[in-house]
Amino acid sequence: MNKFFSLLLIPLCLSFTEGNVHAAKKLQLRGIKGEDNREFPDVTKTPWRSIGRINKDGSFCTGVLIGPDTVLTAAHCFWNKRTRRWSDAKYFHFLPGYEKGRFAGHAKGVSYSLSTDMKKAGSYPNAERKDDWAILKIDKPLGDQFGWIPVLSTSLKKRNASVMQSGYSKDYPHVLTMHRNCKVVRIAKLNDGTVPLYAHDCDATKGDSGSPIFTKTDGEYQIIGLHSATRTLDDGKVYGIGIPSSLFSNIRR
């Protein structure tokens, strides 16, 4: 009898242990800073309907409409690690309002713009973090249907500015997440770079690359930067690294 009950208990114990391991991995996901404060916004509402997934061969980044047919995202999303080349825009698909396999719109990439310094560097690994932005031209004016978020042309002047961030995270790849009331807690230079970047405490992980960091003033949303990466800075704390919008606001759209 004891042996019988022991056999029954073993699968239950294994199931319980696996559940705890999965939860622990989720809690430890790099980019989640303490308590997970992400929410799930309604992708049919403004401004969330302007945000979408950028897909290529099973991989994805986040992008946001900033004009009728232009999408802001991170430059490294177009870098092919295997071939060590920049991928052609035609292989990328932008899906606004994406949720659990369904999407409100679809467009293919036509071309994309990189910073002048990124072009000079020749490859993503050789460029500075400040150049990790790109503007994807798409083949349909989806912005006319779903709206777009304007890009602020000036940089933040002080830290602790309250912002929002929204994207498709690695652990929630099929639903849009949003962190409201997070902050740009530092304005710092990386690797002796000349351009200060934003260090924010928004819960952004892999997949969130290219996601907008934005504010709402007098009922209007404005992009103040985009999420590029997660880094541990000189104070030993983990931050999200944001590219200030002033670096790409003047690109023709």
At residue 188 the predicted structure's pLDDT band, cuts being 50, 70 and 90, is confident
Give the residue with greater pLDDT, 22 vs 38.
Answer: 38
Instruction: Compute CA distances 79 → 59, 121, 160, 227, whole Å.
Output: 12, 13, 32, 16
Q: What residue type is 88 in one-letter code?
A: D
Q: In which band, very low, low, confident or very high, does the pLDDT at 8 lie, cut at 50, 70 and 90? A: very low
Domain closes at, from 146, 171, 193: 146
- Please state, rounded to an integer, the average pLDDT across all residues of the chain: 88
Residues 141 and 165 in one domain: no
Q: How confident is the model at residue 28 (pLDDT cuts 50, 70, 90)?
A: low
Distance CA 36, CA 170 (A): 14
Question: Which residue type, as a one-letter code, is found at position 105?
Answer: G
Please say which residue of 94, 123, 146 terminates a domain. 146
Find out whether 232 and 247 touch, Cβ atoms under 8 Å: no
pLDDT at position 148 over 60: yes
Number of domains in the chain: 2
Q: Are residues 94 and 65 in the same domain?
A: yes
What CATH code is carried by the domain that includes residue 130?
A: 2.40.10.10
**In whole angstroms, what is the distance from residue 156 CA to residue 225 CA?**
10
**The pTM is what?**
0.87
Task: Give the pLDDT confidence score for residue 252 in this predicted structure.
Answer: 62
Indicate the DSSP class of residue 90: G
Confidence (pLDDT) at 159: 79
Mean local confidence (pLDDT), 30-54: 95
Q: Which domain holds residue 98?
A: 48-146
